[in-house]
Structure 1
Amino acid sequence: MTEASIPPITEDDIANYLANTPDFFERHASLLAAVQLTSPHGQRAVSLQERQAEMLREKIKGLEMKAADMIRHGHENTAIADRLQRWTLQLLNTREAAELPEVVADGVAAHFGVPQAVVKVWGVAPGFAALPCAQGASADAPAFATSLSKPYCGANRGLEAATWLADPAAAASLALIPLRAGDGPQAFGLLVLASPDVHRFAADMGTDFLERIGELTAAALTRLRP
């Protein structure tokens, strides 16, 4: 093989050699002190050891930020769980079934910072037919609620459910949570949450927590059914 046909040494060749020859710098210790790198914090030259120390500090800082985020999320989740428990206890401690729709709506608004909340149900027992929550929904409302496989979140586009609120004009975004008895497909009501903030209930937000709220609400309001 002629000298001209020998492929040039690439940076990858050098990197592979150093990675596979850990004793190289033991045999050439003086080279470590001579290597100069550019610091990411300005254009000054730093030694290899100093650059490694900077990289380690940056890595530690990143880990500290991740740990702080985990702690913050943990505190937030604990606070949400506490509020959910207090609201659930309110439902369990409500003796009069007729009071439950108001307890649900007022509790959601108070504990979870929702500006407006209202409940509508249909197919209730005769003794509850005169309740505000059992009136005002159109004949199309049951079919619409049943069609929701999960809570609807998004802008208020003139949906009927917004008209059930105390102040429909202040409902820029909505969360419509279907209420079902057990695992049945038919919905017997809707829990409507509203906010003047158009981003509060965004179409791309997660709905797991809203589904839990809906399950608890539905379980409580089954007392209104025949």
Structure 2
Amino acid sequence: MKKLVVLTGAGISAESGIKTFRDSDGLWEGHDVMEVASPIGWNKNKELVLDFYNKRRRQLHEVAPNEGHFQLAELEKYFNVQIITQNVDNLHEKAGSSNILHLHGELFKVRSTKNIDYILDWKHDLNVGDCDENGHQLRPHIVWFGEDVPAIEEAIVHCEQADYLAVIGTSLQVYPAAGLLRYTYTDTPIFYIDPKPAILHSVANPLTVISKRASEGVAHLKELLMKKD
């Protein structure tokens, strides 16, 4: 069974009603990104940061996967599908996908501020005073700007093993995720699904652009892959 690696971004979740955080003026829900998504912001105002992510977490209880998510799960019947997502929601899991690597963390998890390996499932609000077993404050299990991306090495290995790579709903502007395409073999076909696709610079691979939303584009991707296989 051939390996299909799928890199997903905010575009696929936006179809389910999840806001993409960043507005046209560059603000995240009215906040400068450094206020709510950086260690500096956390140290400056923990209450603000926790409130920001509590609102995002609450929203996950109200949204559902869209057809793009379900179609990716369906592809597991025909391919060894590995999803690498920049999203922090759980919509791929809800849709039934089996192999999901979250590059930037997960909203339904929290971790200790002192022990990065102390991670808990967390479905409700997180507040100042919520601590690990040693009394250290818990924080969102989110990779903030300026922090390392622990999962990137595993993501690179998957891209190196890919027979096909699909990029869905991301302009690939945020590194290190944006650099993952470079780790595929140059003869590995890349499929780019986005209603307003960005220009993928320095891509030597065979490239197919599907200018559709994920809910429509993944179905088209399936048709193309089944013809190739």
Q: TM-score range by the shorter chain?
A: under 0.3
Q: Of the two, which has the highest radius of gyration? A: 1
| TM-score w.r.t. length of structure 2 | 0.21
Q: Which has the higher contact order (CA 8 A, sep 6+)?
A: 2
Structure with the bigger percentage of strand = 2
Structure with the bigger percentage of helix = 1
